[in-house]
Structure 1
């Protein structure tokens, strides 16, 4: 199956599906999975870890299809402007766009710096630990919000600013956006669901950008020679991500984030221990 065996494709896709929407850093887990399996970090392997995100984000659309394909039909006061009526009708998509803009702008402006940070396994490990310590206390810090708190444009933009923090590898996009939502007084469930929704445009844009760079650098043959691996990887990531999302929403609503904090700390310390004992770890 090209650069990877079928077993390697399935395992890495399972890791992607399990960790993409949990606040545990999919990047950190990709590093561990790739190095445990002994998968060489080729051009295709790096592209593979981004392209299979499509399967993961598709699981969000399928699970929440009523939210994604439903227009806002709540009545507006008479006399509302055409612009206000338009934004009201497409309220869900408008707020996603507002939240998406900060990361899109910063991602384009600082793409080289972000790519440089992505090469540092040490940064990933440290941020896993730091983020884990924070998650031990975030439930007490923010509480569980209020069911009456609605997502507004301002709150969506603030969540988008928090998402920018996840450009530091190891922070976890999911953790940053969920914390951003909780900081805006959303409940844990509402914050987590908006994090999932925001992942769709964000991860789709990142995947398209990576594929564009790959094709522009002559990577058409690489994709075609590994097409089977990409199809299997996306299918596995899709199924596993659906299960992970259902588990996460149920668990975090009842128990909060402390367990994920301890888990992040353990994973980060394992990576640091491997680095300090002379192991050479490559980024996925």
Structure 2
């Protein structure tokens, strides 16, 4: 396989891994990187979704001990059963709405105006959420969440179906507005990403399998590897960051990126149609 293509796959993997768990929208950044690198055909779109799985492996590694404890405790421990139930409840809205609305969203919302608006509005919401008077934290850890908390965060996650919104941004900021502590919202966002992104990746590979060939395997393997490595660094850093920092810098970054989307679309430099 062309070495240049593998280098491009590695760059896309790094972009995915660094942006998937930050509240800045990995989709928007992958569209931009793909356009700049010339990876924007239908096969490349499948690649973008598939390499999310690499980022999820990073979360699984960081939380390996916690996940092993949950799996061992599922048959008999109420805490483990409640944790698994909450993740399942949070995952369910994305499955239902994704199957019902996925095609319509792809057809009508992947436009420069929608992508830019999502970036800018999301940034303004983060600024508002960080500057508002701190609400009473009802839930200080993932283990203290109830099924209704999980459902609410799962519904908020569905906002990320709008391109440019950011899945992690929706779940983390949404969770905080719903009464979760910053740490609990961040960790539940990570756990919720495991079934959500693995499911999306497998579904996309199955649905678009006719576009793929065995010759694509090295490209996908490189993308997955670099997505995993960069996400592993990002997740570990983000867990330390949220302990003592706000998400305000990401809000300003989103607003600036939204303006970039508008400018590049107006100039005809980037095709933001996904």
TM-score if structure 2 supplies the norm length? 0.91
* Partners of 2:31 and 2:40 within 8 A in 1: no
Q: Give the corresponding residue for 2:57.
A: 58
1-structure distance, mates of 2:257, 2:18 = 15
* Partners of 1:87 and 1:94 within 8 A in 2: no
Q: Secondary structure at the match of 2:161?
A: coil
Asked whether 1:34 is paired with 2:38, we answer no
Q: Secondary structure at the match of 2:268?
A: coil
Q: Secondary structure at the match of 1:108?
A: helix
Residue 252 of structure 1 deviates from its aligned partner by 2.4
Q: Give the corresponding residue for 1:197.
A: 191
Q: Give the corresponding residue for 1:140.
A: 131
In structure 1, runs of 5+ residues without a counterpart are: 75-83
Indicate how the Cα distance of structure 1 residues 254 and 184 shifts in structure 2: closer, same or farther if over 3 A, else same: same
* Partners of 1:72 and 1:88 within 8 A in 2: no
Q: Give the corresponding residue for 1:6.
A: 6
* Partners of 2:120 and 2:258 within 8 A in 1: yes
Q: Give the corresponding residue for 1:107.
A: 98
| Larger CA Rg, structure 1 vs 2 | 1
In structure 2, runs of 5+ residues without a counterpart are: none
1-structure distance, mates of 2:104, 2:2 = 31
Q: Give the corresponding residue for 1:272.
A: 262
Asked whether 1:177 is paired with 2:176, we answer no
Indicate how the Cα distance of structure 1 residues 212 and 4 shifts in structure 2: closer, same or farther if over 3 A, else same: farther
Residue 98 of structure 1 deviates from its aligned partner by 0.6
Work out the number of aligned pairs and report it: 270
* Partners of 1:10 and 1:233 within 8 A in 2: yes
Q: Give the corresponding residue for 2:161.
A: 167
Q: After superposition, where does 1:144-155 map in structure 2 within 5 Å?
A: 145=137, 148=140, 150-155=144-149
- Over aligned residue pairs, what C-alpha RMSD do you find? 2.3
Q: Give the corresponding residue for 2:114.
A: 123
